[in-house]
Amino acid sequence: ELDVATARRTRTFAVPGTPEAITASRDGTEVWVGSNAEGLVSVVETESGNVSSQLSGFEWPYRILIVEDRDLVVIPDMGRHVVRFVDYVDRTDIETLPFPGEGPQGVALTPDHGTVFLSLNSSGEIAVIDLTTRRVVRRIDSGPSPDGIGWSPLVLRR
């Protein structure tokens, strides 16, 4: 845990090895952590510092995106070449969307929380996913090896 005002670490949480994907709930009561070494995603309760639940079966949980108003968590697994959609409340799998050989990595959410942009590192594309149907509605060429991705309301004029 970091204190932003003092730029100091205030405490640590024990999680499985090689943490990569880390994200916090909007209210700060939970931190979700992906573990590449064990293929797990752990949910840490920030008040106690304890792991309250774990999801298994991952190879490389690369990023984690919580969409609380949809009770949804989106987790790209770069090692298995899938995106897992998990119920935020129950911590159970809803659906797995395959991306064979495409290396799903970064995720970004639109402001209306209806669409996810997913970088596909191996295929050099961005998949546009409708969160209501959990289906790819478009693909955009990004150039080689896209990774981190973000959303901006700015429009580039050429």
Q: What is the pLDDT of residue 10?
A: 92
pTM of the model: 0.92
Give yes or no for residue 155 having a pLDDT over 90.
no
Q: What percent of the chain has pLDDT over 90?
A: 87
E-strand ranges in the chain read 2-3, 8-9, 19-24, 30-35, 40-45, 51-55, 65-67, 72-77, 82-87, 93-98, 104-109, 115-120, 125-130, 135-141
Write the pLDDT tens digit of every residue in 5-40: 999 999 998 898 899 899 999 999 999 999 999 999
What is the mean pLDDT of the segment spanning 94-111?
97
Please report the domains of the chain, with CATH numbers, ordered by start residue.
Answer: 2-141 (2.130.10.10)
Q: What is the pLDDT of residue 153?
A: 83
What is the mean pLDDT of the segment spanning 127-132?
98
